[in-house]
Amino acid sequence: MKKHNTLFFLLAASAFNAQIISGTIISKNENQPIPYVKIGIDKENVGVISDGKGNFSIDLSTLAPQKKVIIEVPGYEMYTETVEDFKKHDLQKIFLKEKIRNIKEIAIKPKKLVDKNWGVNTKTKSVLYSVNPGLNKDNFLGETALEFNAKKRSKIKNINLNIASYTSSQPVLMRYSIYSEKNGFPDKNILDEEITVELTEDMIKDGTYTLDVNDRNIWVQGKFFVGIQFLKDFEGTVKISAALFRTGFIREFYGDWKKMTIAAPAINIDVKMDKNGNSNTEEEDGFSDDSAEAMMSDVSKYVQASEHTIYGQNATVGKYLKLQDTDLYYETYGEGEPLILLHGNSGSIKDYYQQIPVLSRQYKVIAIDTRGQGKSIDSSKKDFTYKMFADDVKALADKLNLGKVNIAGWSDGGNTGLEFALKYPERLNKLITIGANAFPDGVDDKLTDHFGNKMLVMKELKDPKKFNEQRLLKIMLTQPRIGKKDLNKIGSKVLVIAGDKDVIKPEHTELIAKEIPNAELKIYNNATHMIPFENADQLNTDILSFLGKK
Distances in Å between the Cα of 205 and the Cα atoms of 211, 269, 426 are 11, 16, 57
Asked whether 6 and 37 are in contact (CB, 8 A), the reply is no
Q: What does the pLDDT read at residue 396?
A: 98
The number of beta carbons lying within 10 Å of the beta carbon of residue 74 is 18
DSSP string, 444-469: -HHHHHHHHHHHHHHHHHT-GGGHHH
Give φ, ψ of 342 to 5 degrees: -120, 120
Give me the sheet containing 55-59, strands edge to edge.
55-59, 20-27, 92-96
Q: What does the pLDDT read at residue 355?
A: 98
120: nearest Cα among 337, 231, 267: 267
- The 3-state secondary structure of 111-127 reads HHEEEEEEECCCCCCCC
Query: How far does CA 206 lie from the centroid of its chain?
Result: 21
294: nearest Cα among 151, 501, 505, 509: 501
126: nearest Cα among 324, 442, 348, 445: 348
Instruction: Give the span between the Cα atoms of 52 and 296, in whole angstroms.
Output: 43
Give φ, ψ of 270 to 5 degrees: -95, 130
pTM for the model stands at 0.57
What is the greatest pairwise CA distance in the chain?
86
Asked whether 265 and 259 are in contact (CB, 8 A), the reply is no
β-pairing verdict for 318-323 and 326-333: antiparallel
β-pairing verdict for 267-274 and 142-168: antiparallel
Please give the chain's pLDDT, 550 residues, in tens.
Answer: 444 433 333 222 333 344 788 999 999 988 999 999 999 999 888 888 999 999 999 988 888 999 999 999 988 999 999 999 998 877 788 999 988 765 444 454 555 789 999 999 988 887 778 887 766 554 455 789 999 999 889 999 999 999 999 999 899 999 999 999 999 999 999 998 889 999 999 999 999 999 999 999 999 999 999 999 988 888 889 999 988 667 889 988 888 898 876 678 999 999 999 876 554 444 455 655 444 445 556 788 899 899 999 999 999 999 999 999 999 999 999 999 999 999 999 999 999 999 999 999 999 999 999 999 999 999 999 999 999 999 999 999 999 999 999 999 999 999 999 999 999 999 999 999 999 999 999 999 888 877 887 787 677 767 788 899 999 999 999 999 999 999 999 999 999 999 999 999 999 999 999 999 999 999 999 999 999 999 999 999 999 999 997 6
Instruction: Give the span between the Cα atoms of 195 and 227, in whole angstroms.
Output: 11
Amino acid occupying residue 109 = K
Contacts of 457 (CB under 8 A, 6+ apart): none
Asked whether 315 and 495 are in contact (CB, 8 A), the reply is no
Instruction: Give the span between the Cα atoms of 146 and 151, in whole angstroms.
Output: 16
